[in-house]
Structure 1
Amino acid sequence: MTKQAQQTVLAAELPERGQPLAGGVFVTRYWLNGVERALILLPDELSGPWGEYGVEIKGTHSHSDGEANTRAMAEAGSVIAMKALELDGFIPSCLEGQLLMAAKADGVVELREDRWHWLSSQRSADYAYGMAFGDGWLSDVGKGFERLARPVRSLPIQ
């Protein structure tokens, strides 16, 4: 029998930041598309290229909605995006990456500092955004390079 992933969280049941929630670590509360959400960092670490250099993927330009970006990436054949979705997670957007960096700076979560991490926000046909969690750099990176991705999950708060 397959375990059903948690779909929402009650505000009264939210743990402290940095505590376990829905198979990961609760990072923070944030608003996305008019809905308050809980951002959860999953324990998995993925590696691979974002996509094909020179190919623009429609639906991946959101700087806030990593789940929508990741779904568009997967539909276009991105292996790293498909792996994130298989975990019932997604690759964070630029906004969600910044929230992870803030949580790391606050000591709430631990993230690798020795490599760049993919974000799901695409800049152009050639570049997508990546983040270096050692110093918080957000930059565009050639999409064909192998980088890490730390999937997240986002649950509506009720």
Structure 2
Amino acid sequence: MTKQAQQTVLAAELPESGKPLAGGVFVTRYWLNGVERALILLPDELSGPWGEYGVEIKGAGSYSDGEANTRAMAEAGSVIAVKALELDGFIPSCLEGQLLMAAKAEGLVVLNEERFHWLSSQRSANLAYSMDFEDGWLDFNVKYLERLARPVRSLPIQ
């Protein structure tokens, strides 16, 4: 039997950034769709293509909502998106990727600097965003390339 992931967090119970929370490391507080949330970096690292070249996935174009993007990717058959959701996480959006990079720059989290990481934000039918966690470059690449993906979790703060 698998343990169900934590669904919310009380504001009074939030640890300092960089400390353990909900199976990962608490990164920061942020607002998404009018709800204050806690961004949590999971320990897992996935590898694979973002998706199919030439196919635009409806619902995967958000610059800020990585969970919605990842769900749309998974419904379209993205293997790394399915794996991220199985971890009760998702592939970060461009915004969430930039929040991870800011936390890394402050020494709060450790991220693999060797390769670009997929973000869940789609740029077009052929391209999706990726980030270099060595120096924070936000770029886009063709979807069929194999890249890393570092899942996150986002919990509403009560």
Q: Where on the TM-score scale, by shorter chain, does this alignment land: which range?
A: over 0.9
Q: What's the offset of the Cα at 1:87?
A: 0.1
- Which residue of the partner structure matches residue 139 of structure 2? 139
Note if 1:81 corresponds to 2:81.
Answer: yes
- Distance in 2, matches of 1:15 and 1:33, equals 23
Equivalent position amino acid for 2:136 in 1: G
Alignment of 1:109-148 (within 5 A): 109-148=109-148
- Distance in 1, matches of 2:5 and 2:111, equals 24
- Distance in 2, matches of 1:122 and 1:30, equals 21
Q: What's the offset of the Cα at 1:5?
A: 1.0
Unaligned runs of 5+ in 1: none
- Secondary structure of the structure 1 residue equivalent to 2:54: coil
Superposition TM-score, scaled by structure 2 size: 0.99
- Which residue of the partner structure matches residue 35 of structure 1? 35
- Distance in 2, matches of 1:21 and 1:50, equals 27
- Secondary structure of the structure 2 residue equivalent to 1:80: helix
Q: What's the offset of the Cα at 1:18?
A: 0.3
Unaligned runs of 5+ in 2: none
Q: What's the offset of the Cα at 1:35?
A: 0.2
- Which residue of the partner structure matches residue 70 of structure 2? 70
Root-mean-square deviation (CA, aligned residues, Å) is: 0.5
- Distance in 2, matches of 1:31 and 1:66, equals 13
- Secondary structure of the structure 1 residue equivalent to 2:119: strand
4+ long deviations beyond 4 Å: none
